[in-house]
Structure 1
Amino acid sequence: MGSEHIPVSVGGRVLRISNLDKVLYPDTGFTKRDVLDYYVAVAEALLPRLAERPVTLMRFPDGADREGFFEKHAARHAPEWVRTARIPTRSGTAEYVFLEELPALVWAANLAALELHVPQWRIGEGTRLPDQLVFDLDPGAPAGIVECCRVAVLLRDALAEDGLCAYPKTSGSKGMQLYVPVTATEEKQSSRYAKRLAERLAGRHPELITATMTKAVRPGRVFIDWSQNNPAKTTIAAYSLRARPEPAVSTPLRWTEVERGEPLAFGPRQVRERLAEHGDLLAGMGDSRAALPSE
C-alpha cells in the first residue's frame, strides 16, 4: 500500500496507519501488519507491564536487519490523547510517552517501535521509587540458555530465603530475566540489594556465575546483571517483540520449564498460543510484592 495513510478506529480513537505491507523482519517476511496484529492480540497482557511506566521506544523504521534507535523524547510524534510526562534523564529531561491503552500501543507500533523498554518504577510510586527488581542473566559463550536456567533457579531460591518471589521470562535474545515485585523505601535500595545478592551467588558458584561486567571473565559463565535496577536504566518489557533476524518475544515462563533447563525461545505465534493455553503468567505479580530486606 506504499506510504498511504489509512484511517483506522482503535478503541474509540482514529489512527492513521501507514505501510502495512512493509517487511520489518526480512528473514521471515514478517510485516508491519503482522507487528500490529501481534501487539493487538497480546495487549491485554502487555499493557499492565507498561502501566504508569515511561516507555523508551526502540524503533526500526527500515526493518529489524537495519540499525534502530532508542527514542525517549517521543512526545513530538504523539497525538494529544497519548499521555506524556517530562522526566529527568542523565543529560537533562525528556518528554516520555506512556502506553496505557490499546490505541497508544498501536500508535507506537505504527512507528515501527518493535521494542518497548521500561524502568523498574512507576511514576505513581513516587520519584522513581522501584516496585520491582530485575535480574538480567547474560550468558557468555559457550554458556547459553541452559546455564541461565540453572542460575535462575539459584536466584529464585536465594530470593525466597529473603521472602521475595521471582517470575522468570526470556529476554527475547540469548538470555533470561527475573522480575521480583518489591516495596522499597528509596530509589537505590533495590540496586544495592541486587548487587549484594549477585555477588553472593557469584562467590558461591564461581564456575557458573559472575557479577562483574568485565567481558574477559564471562566466557562459560552467566553474568547476573544487577545494574538494570539503576533508576535511570530500562529493561525490555515482557511480551515486547525483539529486533532479531526472526521475530522473537520476551516471554514469561513457568518455573517447571526453567527447572527442566531446556532451550527456551518463542516467537509471536507461540506467545499467542501460550496466552491462550496458560493465560498471563505475570498476572497478579503485584500481589506478591514484599519489602526488601533491611541493609
Structure 2
Amino acid sequence: MAKASAAEVEAGGRAVRVSSPDRVVYEATDRTPEVTKLMVAQYVASVEDGLMRALRDRPTALERWPSGVREGMKLATGPQDRDADAFYQKRVPKGAPDYLETVEVTFPSGRTAEEICPTEIAVPVWCAHMGTIVFHPWPVRRTDVDHPDELRIDLDPQPGTTFADAVRVAGVARELLEELGLVGFPKTSGNRGVHIYVRIEPRWEFTDLRHAAIGFGRELERRDGGVTTAWWKEERGERIFVDYNQNNRDRTIASAYSLRPLPGAPVSTPVTWDELAGLTDPRELNLFTVPDRVADGDPWAAIDDTSYSLEPLLRLWEELPGGELNFPPDYPKMPGEPPRVQPSKKVAAHWDDDGNRIEGT
C-alpha cells in the first residue's frame, strides 16, 4: 500500500496539514509501538490545554528532528555541528502559516530575532508537521520579553545518581519553597531529572532570576549533601546538580507536555507532588499515556493563579557565601564571574584576584 503524502489534524478549529504522515519518528520498543509523524501531531493537539498553558504568548524555540529519532543521531548545539541530524530553530521557519504570530527577542550577543509565539494550538501542531519534537519556551510573555515571569529549578542527575535521587531532592526543594512562602509545580524532565516551576511577578531582570536560582540551590546544598551547584562537571560528584544557568536569557527547558527525543516517546509531564513521590519510572509517562491524564485534568491548572516575589530567594543569594558562578561558554565574560578554566587545569599563579589571566602567563 502506498504511503499517504499528507494528512490533516484538527487543531482548535483549523485543519493543519501534516506532510509525510507515515514517517516513523520513534521506532517501536519492548514497551511501546512505533510512532509516526501523524501520531506526533495528533498527540500535540490532544494535550492542548496543558501545552498551551506552557507555551501561550511565550517566545518559543523549536527542537526539530526532521528524520525522526534514532540511536546515535546527534542534536546540533552550535555551528560546528554541521553534520547533525537535529537542530534548534530560533527563528521562524520558512512557509509559516499566516495565523502564526511572532515576537522579537534579544539574545545575549545583542542580536535580535523574530521567534514563534504560540497563541493557539494550531501553531504547535504545525510545528510538529515541521519535525518539532520539543518546545523550548522562554520564561517571559510577549508583552514584556525582558522580565521573566517564572523561575525554573532544574534538578539534573549526574553520573552515579538516579531519578529516585532527583525525586528525593525535589521533596527537599518543596519544603524549602513552602518555608519561603512559595508554591512550586513539579514535572518530570522526560528523562531522569525533575523540573520545578514557580510563577513570579515579572519585575526582575534575568540576572536576578539566575541569582535567585543560585541562592535556592545553595540552600538545597546546605540541607542535603546530595546536591551541588558546581558548574564544572569534575567537581559535581555523584550528586544532583541544580542547573542555575537554565534561568539565563535565551536558556530554556523542554516545556510541559513536550515529547523528548528518547526511545518510547517519553513526555516531560506535570505531576502532583504526591504523584512525583510515588513515581519510579518516568518512562511510563509517554505519548500513549499522557493524553488520558490531560483529559482528566492538568496538575498545573492552578499555576497561573498566583505569582510570587523573588525577594526571599534573592535574600538567600545575598546571605549565603559563594559569590558569582560561571556562565555558559557562549556568554561574554560577565562581571564578577570566576575564571573560565577547569579547576584541575588552573594554575593559581596565572590568575589575578579578579579572575583575569595575567598577561604573559
TM-score by length of 2: 0.76
Structure ranking higher on relative contact order (CA contacts 8 Å, 6+ apart) = 1
**Contact 1:84–1:98 under 8 Å retained in 2:** yes
Is 1:181 matched up with 2:195?
Answer: no
1:151 maps to 169
1:141 maps to 159
Q: 1:205 to 1:9 in 2, by over 3 A?
A: closer
Q: 1:82 to 1:216 in 2, by over 3 A?
A: same
Query: What secondary structure is seen at the aligned counterpart in 1 of 2:304?
Result: helix
Query: What secondary structure is seen at the aligned counterpart in 2 of 1:123?
Result: coil
CA RMSD of aligned residues (A): 1.9
Distance 1:86 1:286 in 2: 24
Q: Can you list the C-alpha shifts for 1:186-221, whole angstroms capped at 9, x where unaligned?
A: 213221111111012213323x00011221233421
Q: Can you list the C-alpha shifts for 1:221-246, whole angstroms capped at 9, x where unaligned?
A: 10011211112211110001111122
Map 1:114-263; keep pairs closer than 5 Å.
114-124=133-143, 126-187=144-205, 188-206=207-225, 208-260=226-278, 262-263=280-281
**Contact 2:188–2:268 under 8 Å retained in 1:** yes
1:56 maps to 61
Q: Can you list the C-alpha shifts for 1:117-159, whole angstroms capped at 9, x where unaligned?
A: 11111122x2421111101111113211111011111111111
Q: Can you list the C-alpha shifts for 1:57-101, whole angstroms capped at 9, x where unaligned?
A: 000011112331000012433112200122212341122112221
**Contact 1:184–1:292 under 8 Å retained in 2:** no
Distance 2:223 2:121 in 1: 45
Q: Can you list the C-alpha shifts for 1:150-192, whole angstroms capped at 9, x where unaligned?
A: 1111111111121110111000112110011111422132211
Q: Can you list the C-alpha shifts for 1:25-73, whole angstroms capped at 9, x where unaligned?
A: 1244210111011111111221111011111000001111233100001
Distance 2:233 2:182 in 1: 30
| One-letter amino acid of the counterpart of residue 18, structure 1 | S
**Contact 1:168–1:179 under 8 Å retained in 2:** yes
| One-letter amino acid of the counterpart of residue 29, structure 1 | E
Structure 2 residue aligned with 1:288, among 306, 321, 334? 306
**Contact 1:164–1:182 under 8 Å retained in 2:** no
| One-letter amino acid of the counterpart of residue 194, structure 1 | A
Distance 1:269 1:16 in 2: 22
Identity of aligned residues (%): 32
| One-letter amino acid of the counterpart of residue 63, structure 1 | G
| Structure 1 unpaired stretches of 5+ | none
Is 1:29 matched up with 2:8?
Answer: no
Is 1:17 matched up with 2:22?
Answer: no
1:4 maps to 5
1:77 maps to 95
TM-score by length of 1: 0.92
Structure whose residues are more often helix by fraction: 1
**Contact 1:54–1:96 under 8 Å retained in 2:** yes
2:127 maps to 108
Is 1:270 matched up with 2:289?
Answer: yes
Query: What secondary structure is seen at the aligned counterpart in 1 of 2:199?
Result: strand
Distance 2:118 2:194 in 1: 24
Q: 1:281 to 1:196 in 2, by over 3 A?
A: same
| One-letter amino acid of the counterpart of residue 181, structure 1 | R
Q: Can you list the C-alpha shifts for 1:104-125, whole angstroms capped at 9, x where unaligned?
A: 121111011011011111122x
Distance 2:310 2:62 in 1: 30
Query: What secondary structure is seen at the aligned counterpart in 1 of 2:298?
Result: coil
Q: How many residues align?
A: 292
Distance 1:11 1:250 in 2: 23
| One-letter amino acid of the counterpart of residue 59, structure 1 | R
